[in-house]
Amino acid sequence: MPSHGGARVSKPRGAIIIPSLVLTLVVALGIFLWSRGELNDLICDGDCGPANVIPPRSLTTDTLPADPAPGLPAPGDIDPAKLRAAVAPTLDAAVLGPRVGFSAVAPPTGTELMSSGPGAYVPASTTKVLTSFAALSLIDPQTRYATRVVGSGDQVVLVGGGDPYLAVKRKKTHDGVVRADLTTLAKRTATALKRVGTDSVNLGFDASLFTGPDASPGWEPSYVSQNIVTPVSALWADQGEQGGIRARDPAASAARTFAGLLEDRGITVTGEPEPAKVPGDAPAIAVVRGATVARIVETLLRVSDNQAAEVMLRHLAIAAGKPATFDGGVEAVTDVLDAADIDIEGLVLADGSGLSRRNRIAPLTLAQTVNVAASTPRTSGLAADLPVSGFTGTLVDRFAKLTASRGMVRAKTGTLTGIHSLAGYALDAEGRPVVFAVMADRTSTAAPVEAQAALDRVAAAIAACTCGA
């Protein structure tokens, strides 16, 4: 103990207690603001990502939790009458237009609690729920797609393996979904070529893993011509986009970029890269592997990535033994849903992303898909991948005025002009999960933000409901 002139000196008790009290209050305030999503911009630059929001255990495992967390009741029975009383008024919002559909089911049984509105609706990007469920059902979630260079002597071919997030160069700002890049592949290729004394090559490129049309007949013709989407390809880099412009032939564009990267590393590339086709078992000179299917699905759901969804539609078609086309993928999705005993009445699909206005999905189909996914071990990650109200992905800027429901809703959004949908689950006021889908495909085109807010109020009504039986 320090002393002065032989006398003991002690700090006043308040000098210790007051700072501790202040620190406790700051921590408590921080936790409160975090729970409301108020710190997203400060801490996470907008989207805090799924790892920062813990999903309710009752929806992310195949059994109900035996020991629920303190203050969070184990899911119990939902009273359909109470749910209807809470939700029905929100479905009548004028901005949602004359066609509004709603379905809610109780996990894990999938018993329908409430339905409203007839038939199937244009789903927009909630289509990705079906695509993702089918992909996780048919493909090992730990699968990683490889981009290879094969050949011998002065003939080499860049072979696309359908990595939707292959990049030209990995950036520090990328999340873990970008695992493979052409820069690394070029470095490995140049090293391998120089090792055998080769410093000049002809370069081919093979994107034959996917077949059929590279743009859905169900898309508006302007989607490609006006730079809205990249034609679907098994080989592209940065999803075929460079300087804000999407390549009409993304495989050729990736090959030209790769040729330049080889040149930078001392390998002369003669002529222009040409299309080629190599056997699937051809030995590789160099390989890079992308993120796992599980990570790809998480990202495409969170940010609503149209490009990645269409690539995964091709992969699940291949996994189902069907042609790697739009039609093959759609057939595979339908078969998976049917095998899972999901109601597919009225289902019409033209793509995997939801860009097509020809798509039709009933709210019950969406709700049942989320419920089955959550209650099946192989696909249970889908429930946790859905954007979180006020925190992540396409819901990061929504529910702003519905603070009580921030962090209490996980749902996939769907948006096209005049079309809005939301499919996922919400916890009621006592922690009971309700899986739901709400769809409106004739909304006011003059008020899209208001239409989105109206859908948010539907989910918020569930979150505010004390709906126990």
Q: 300-330 pLDDT, tens per residue? A: 999 999 999 999 999 999 999 999 999 999 9
Is the predicted pLDDT of residue 412 greater than 50, yes or no? yes
- 49-102: pLDDT as tens digits: 444 444 444 444 333 333 333 333 345 789 999 999 999 999 999 999 999 999
Strands 155-159 and 200-206: parallel
Whether 200 and 68 map to the same domain: the answer is no
> Would 279 be classed as within a structural domain?
yes
In this prediction, residue 459 carries a pLDDT of 98
In this prediction, residue 282 carries a pLDDT of 86
> Would 154 be classed as within a structural domain?
yes
> Would 214 be classed as within a structural domain?
yes
Whether 433 and 315 map to the same domain: the answer is yes
Cα distance from N-terminal residue to C-terminal residue, the chain: 63
Give percent of the chain with pLDDT exceeding 70. 83
Whether 38 and 62 map to the same domain: the answer is no
Listed range (128-142, 253-267, 270-284, 410-424) with the worst mean pLDDT: 270-284
Whether 323 and 286 map to the same domain: the answer is no
Whether 165 and 282 map to the same domain: the answer is yes
In this prediction, residue 268 carries a pLDDT of 97
Closest CA to 369 of 134, 60, 56: 134
> Would 3 be classed as within a structural domain?
no
> Would 5 be classed as within a structural domain?
no
Using the structure block, give the residue that is written with the tokens 């729920």.
129
Give percent of the chain with pLDDT exceeding 90. 79
Q: What is the CATH number of the domain that holds 323?
A: 3.40.710.10
Domain range for 31: 10-44
Is the predicted pLDDT of residue 208 greater than 90, yes or no? yes
In this prediction, residue 26 carries a pLDDT of 54
Is the predicted pLDDT of residue 160 greater than 90, yes or no? yes
Contact 135, 315 (CB under 8 A): yes
Using the structure block, give the residue that is written with the tokens 């700051």.
26
Listed range (4-8, 108-112, 271-275, 437-441) with the worst mean pLDDT: 4-8
Count of domains for the chain: 3
Is the predicted pLDDT of residue 360 greater than 60, yes or no? yes
> Would 158 be classed as within a structural domain?
yes
> Would 325 be classed as within a structural domain?
yes
Whether 161 and 228 map to the same domain: the answer is yes
Whether 29 and 67 map to the same domain: the answer is no
pTM: 0.85
In this prediction, residue 13 carries a pLDDT of 54
In this prediction, residue 152 carries a pLDDT of 76
Choosing from 292, 323, 342, the residue where a domain stops is 292
Whether 342 and 280 map to the same domain: the answer is no
> Would 257 be classed as within a structural domain?
yes
Choosing from 239, 264, 292, the residue where a domain stops is 292
Is the predicted pLDDT of residue 121 greater than 90, yes or no? yes
In this prediction, residue 29 carries a pLDDT of 56
Choosing from 239, 267, 292, the residue where a domain stops is 292
In this prediction, residue 210 carries a pLDDT of 98
Whether 258 and 334 map to the same domain: the answer is no
Whether 155 and 286 map to the same domain: the answer is yes
Whether 369 and 243 map to the same domain: the answer is no
What is the average pLDDT score of the chain?
A: 88
Most confident by average pLDDT, 54-68, 269-283, 285-299? 285-299
Whether 251 and 310 map to the same domain: the answer is no
In this prediction, residue 279 carries a pLDDT of 87
Q: What is the CATH number of the domain that holds 239?
A: 3.50.80.20
